[in-house]
Amino acid sequence: MDHFLAYAEFASFEQRMKPFTPYGRDYWQELGLITSQAKLEELYDRTAEALNFIQEIGLKSTLFSRITYHLQRLPRFPQAVQDLYDEVELFELKKFLYNYRLLLELLPSKLKEFFHLEFHSEELYSLLDLGPQSREAFFVVDEYSTELAQLRKAIRLNDVRMTELKQATDARLQSLYDLSFGELQFLVVPKSVLGDPEKAREDLSLEPFDSSSYLVRPKMSGEMLTLAEQRRQWEVQERAAENEILRDLAQSVSRELDSLLSYRKQVTELDLALSRAHLALNYNLVRPLLMAPAALDGNIQIEDGRFIPCEEACQERGTDYQPLKARLSSHTTVLFGSNMGGKTITLKTLAFLQLCAQKGLYVPAKQFRTRVYSHLHYIGEVNGAGSMRQGLSGFGFEIAQFRQAFDDFREPTLALFDEFARTTNSGEAQALISAILRQFSNRPQVTAIFSTHFRGILRLPEVCYLRMKGLNHQRLRLSEASSQAGQSDLLERLKLIDSFMDYVLVPDDGLSSVSDAIEIARLLGVDDTITSFAHELYQG
Amino acid sequence: MSLLECINHASTAITGFGKGSGKTTLLSYLLQLARRSGPCAIVTIGAENYSAQVAAKLPTRIPVEAGDIVVTSLPYAKASGARFEILDTVAGRVQAGRLIIGRALRPGLVSLLGTEHLSNLKQALATIRQEQWAQSILIDGAVNRLTQVCSLGHLQFIYTVQIDRGNLRQVVAKLQLLNALSKLPVWPPSPGSQQQNEETEGLNTIHLNGPLTSSVLERTVRSDNLHRLQALTVTDFSKVFLSLKELNRLQVSVPLYIHVPFRLIGIAVVVRDLTPQELNQALGPGFQVPLLFNPFQTPAQALN
């Protein structure tokens, strides 16, 4: 599967699916291949519902912004019943309930019904929102218990008295020494200001600062010390009272936890559906058509399928991108074609579409008809597969991949072979591919597609043989007669090849030759004397 | 511009040369100043002191008032004499428990705690700004965390330093280097400037991702192409590990740029047995960074 994902260059597209909630992100990150057709249809239905809703209100509407605002503010919260939830956990629960409730107020009834979004936890929310606290914040407020309120009142009065005493001390020090501490905890004072240090010690605590100054702090009076000690004791009692309240709140939360988890599950479905719909709108994706599992004779059809990494690369390069049209008449297909003719992109497009479909996403195509496979395999070269190769040669690596995949071929599998065995001698390679073809022709549960240059492989009635149409030689000659293409740089040469290449699949009867390689070498700038001689040799 | 005007509506990192430079004291003082114009947030970088603090049972505590915003751990918030409503959580978990963004509801002392993961701290600062919970943000930026502090972006700096006759020479050298670093131009030069016209045309530029040390200078820059080099850039000032002499010598040959602006708004200086005039004289006439002398000296040499 890793090879298949890498081959389809799926990772960067996958990251563009951005669920709004942390639970949606968790789900998406952990999601593997979905192999249940019913589950996929359910996901597509949800996407369709979300898509209808977004199209109704507009992706840039205030309503949609407000919905995503509340979704983004839904935090994680504890999932298990606990004897005690700490303040952070209660904050998370309250913030969830607050945003979830407001979210539901924004959604139309139809959508709420579809996603089973309900809210019956007013009582718990009110309990967590007691007193004068901020709507999304949490604090164990005085209103939870009389004892707590009394303790806090005592602390407040204590603080008031302490401030009065500090002000009185400050005034005294001002009159005695002309010192104003204000909010400062200490001052650096010239020794001369204090006069007799022994006398100053009655009001100030002194530390040496430098040869001419002391660092001085006001001394606490007996009453101040008593107040500070009293405050400390009340703080201890306050914490105990708070913990008692937390335990009571934990019971209320535990009773409601099943409902909370159900809200979270349903809102995750909504989040994912909106995110999939968002992606579908951004990339012009459509719902895949899944064939029934029993319809083993049904085969893949692609109408204007787009391999998004390639489409974007073409946009960057300023070249046209040709979407793929493909209709496979058999579950086993061989695809011939010249170099740079689009064989690999054809396979990659299929891999990309299939991954989208089996991750529950809509697909970049006008239409994509496919089956649900239990396994997806790619057998061939993988870019950057150095560490995966474990010392095997290119051919050895492909064979190892094939051997690993072989057991899966008893179940519904999509297997893509891109120029399998190209690094070994052509005679043996053709024999090997022919043997595998024969094997697959008897396994309708496997959809296998081989791209290859080897024209001598076995022709079997059950196998569909196609080829990329390749260079349009006639148009190329006409164009070259009126241009200086031969002098352009590599990018220009690539653009030229792109513009004369028909990336179209046509049936291959085995008789017509596919021979664009020498022409492509010429277009890429190989010296004319070489390509002309090569052409003569090839023509015999 | 007064110091209050400088720190108002801004994020200011307070950093010092090692322990005992008066960073925490200045932080408390600036907090009092900042409150005059609106709520203030106070955060610290990193959590490496937690074990030491627990062992000593004496974590450094900052006095907060009602309305102050802090980033700390839940246990620290609960242990504080102040009370905090939890406004948000900071992603990740540190040894001391979950990190919170809390708003003080009454006065008290609280220990700050940061996160090891800069992205989480960045997110916390962004949240504080977006939600408009605080008008000013003060960051306790320990000197050994300077690189991380710089990577938070959009910050200004105040350095704290204690000077006496024993350390005068070393400290003056450090301050002069800071002064030079604060003058480094930002890369890329602003459009339309003469420098920009020259530099954007110049292809011979080295962008250093890591630190600029004497050996790096020797190896990378001097080796073959210093005479051809038109610009040298580093990520931020904390990546420059050259002496003032080396820096000056380099700049004679090639302009050095920084990608993140270094806005040094002042240096809070506590001098012992030394007059401000003596220090100014030692620093020389080219020293341009505002000096804030002995904020706690009386008669008050007002910082505000």
DSSP one-letter string for A233-298: HHHHHHHHHHHHHHHHHHHHHHHHHHHHHHHHHHHHHHHHHHHHHHHHHHHT-B--EEPPTT-TT-
Between A59 and A337, name the one with better pLDDT. Answer: A59
For residue A337, give the nearest of A522, A538, A515 by alpha carbon. Answer: A515
CA geometry: angle A156, A161, A167, nearest 5 deg: 125
Residue A390 has what pLDDT?
62
Asked if residue A283 has pLDDT above 80, the reply is yes
The two three-digit tokens of residue A159, written as one number? 């603080």
Asked if residue B8 has pLDDT above 90, the reply is no
CB contact (8 A) between residue A183 and residue B273: no
Question: Is B87 an 8 Å CB contact of chain A?
Answer: yes
Contact B87, A137 (CB under 8 A): yes
Edge-first strand listing for the sheet containing B291-293: B84-94, B97-104, B69-73, B40-44, B136-140, B11-16, B156-163, B263-271, B291-293
CB contact (8 A) between residue B81 and residue A190: no
Partners of residue B85 in chain A, C-beta under 8 Å: 133-134, 137-139
Of the candidate ranges A34-43, A259-268, A326-335, A356-365, the one whose mean pLDDT is the lowest: A326-335
Residue B300 has what pLDDT?
43
Nearest to A88 among B32, B86, B294 (CB): B86
Residue A386 has what pLDDT?
55
Band the pLDDT of A29: cuts 50, 70, 90.
very high
Residue A192 has what pLDDT?
86
Residue B163 has what pLDDT?
92
Asked if residue A142 has pLDDT above 60, the reply is yes
DSSP A217: E
Asked if residue A10 has pLDDT above 80, the reply is yes
Residue B192 has what pLDDT?
53
Average pLDDT of the segment spanning A450-465: 86
Nearest CA in chain B to A133: B85
Average pLDDT of the segment spanning A297-319: 87
Partners of residue B166 in chain A, C-beta under 8 Å: none
Band the pLDDT of A479: cuts 50, 70, 90.
low
The winner for highest mean pLDDT among A307-311, B44-48, B51-55 is A307-311
Residue A45 has what pLDDT?
97
CB contact (8 A) between residue B106 and residue A209: no
pLDDT per residue over B229-263, tens digit each?
778 888 888 889 899 998 988 888 888 999 888 88
The two three-digit tokens of residue A386, written as one number? 């150095």
The nearest CA of chain A is from the CA of B61 a distance in Å of 13
| Contacts of A217 by beta carbon, 8 Å cutoff, 6+ apart | A185, A186, A204, A205
Residue B304 has what pLDDT?
38
Of the candidate ranges A4-8, B135-139, B187-191, B228-232, the one whose mean pLDDT is the lowest: B187-191
B271 forms beta bridges with: B163
Counting one residue from chain A and one from chain B, the pairs whose CB atoms sit within 8 A come to: 69
Average pLDDT of the segment spanning A46-56: 96
Band the pLDDT of A399: cuts 50, 70, 90.
confident
- φ, ψ at B62 (rounded to 5°): -110, 135
Nearest CA in chain B to A186: B296
CB contact (8 A) between residue B86 and residue A188: no
Distance, in Å, from the CA atom of A501 to the CA atom of A338, rounded to the nearest integer, reads 10
Residue A231 has what pLDDT?
95
Residue B200 has what pLDDT?
47
Distance, in Å, from the CA atom of A352 to the CA atom of B71, rounded to the nearest integer, reads 45
Average pLDDT of the segment spanning A15-23: 96
Residue A330 has what pLDDT?
84
Nearest to A87 among B32, B74, B106 (CB): B74
CB contact (8 A) between residue A189 and residue B87: no
Between A430 and A498, name the one with better pLDDT. Answer: A430
Burial of A274 (0-12, 13-18, 19+ CB in 10 A): buried
CB contact (8 A) between residue B296 and residue A188: yes
Distance, in Å, from the CA atom of A374 to the CA atom of A363, rounded to the nearest integer, reads 19
Asked if residue A91 has pLDDT above 60, the reply is yes
The two three-digit tokens of residue A319, written as one number? 């070249």
Asked if residue B299 has pLDDT above 80, the reply is no
Band the pLDDT of A471: cuts 50, 70, 90.
low
What average pLDDT does chain A have?
A: 88
The two three-digit tokens of residue A162, written as one number? 């302490």
Burial of B239 (0-12, 13-18, 19+ CB in 10 A): buried
Partners of residue A86 in chain B, C-beta under 8 Å: 74, 98
For residue A367, give the nearest of A421, A306, A435 by alpha carbon. Answer: A306
Burial of B101 (0-12, 13-18, 19+ CB in 10 A): buried
For residue A398, give the nearest of A339, A346, A454, A450 by alpha carbon. Answer: A450
Band the pLDDT of B199: cuts 50, 70, 90.
very low
Average pLDDT of the segment spanning A373-383: 86
DSSP B221: I
Asked if residue A238 has pLDDT above 90, the reply is yes
Partners of residue A212 in chain B, C-beta under 8 Å: 273
Cis peptide leading into A507, omega within 30 of 0? no
Band the pLDDT of B225: cuts 50, 70, 90.
low
Q: Which amino acid would we find at residue A348? A: K
Asked if residue A385 has pLDDT above 80, the reply is no
Asked if residue A495 has pLDDT above 50, the reply is yes
Of the candidate ranges A118-127, A222-231, A311-320, B175-184, the one whose mean pLDDT is the lowest: A311-320
The SS3 of residue A525 is coil
The winner for highest mean pLDDT among A222-236, A309-323, A450-464 is A222-236
The nearest CA of chain A is from the CA of B87 a distance in Å of 5
Distance, in Å, from the CA atom of A29 to the CA atom of A17, rounded to the nearest integer, reads 10
Asked if residue A514 has pLDDT above 50, the reply is yes
- Cα–Cα distance list, A455 to A63, A207, A427, A514, A520 (Å): 59, 96, 11, 9, 19
Between B202 and A409, name the one with better pLDDT. Answer: A409
Residue A96 has what pLDDT?
97
CB contact (8 A) between residue A139 and residue B84: yes
DSSP H helices, A31-145, are 37-57, 62-72, 87-106, 109-114, 122-128
Band the pLDDT of A184: cuts 50, 70, 90.
confident
Band the pLDDT of A413: cuts 50, 70, 90.
very high
The two three-digit tokens of residue B251, written as one number? 């700049």
Distance, in Å, from the CA atom of A141 to the CA atom of A157, rounded to the nearest integer, reads 17
Residue B136 has what pLDDT?
94
Average pLDDT of the segment spanning B174-185: 92
- Cα–Cα distance list, A372 to A41, A151, A292, B4 (Å): 11, 66, 8, 66
CB contact (8 A) between residue B85 and residue A186: no
Cis peptide leading into A288, omega within 30 of 0? no
Asked if residue B46 has pLDDT above 80, the reply is no
Between B92 and B198, name the one with better pLDDT. Answer: B92
Partners of residue B87 in chain A, C-beta under 8 Å: 134, 136-137
Residues of A contacting chain B (CB within 8 angstroms): 75, 86-88, 91-92, 133-134, 136-139, 152, 155-156, 159, 179-180, 183-190, 193, 209-213, 215, 231-232, 235, 239, 242
Question: Is B100 an 8 Å CB contact of chain A?
Answer: yes
Partners of residue B105 in chain A, C-beta under 8 Å: 139
For residue A56, give the nearest of A71, A44, A43, A67 by alpha carbon. Answer: A67
Average pLDDT of the segment spanning B91-103: 83
Asked if residue A133 has pLDDT above 80, the reply is yes
Partners of residue A211 in chain B, C-beta under 8 Å: 273
The interface pTM score, or ipTM, of the predicted complex is 0.84
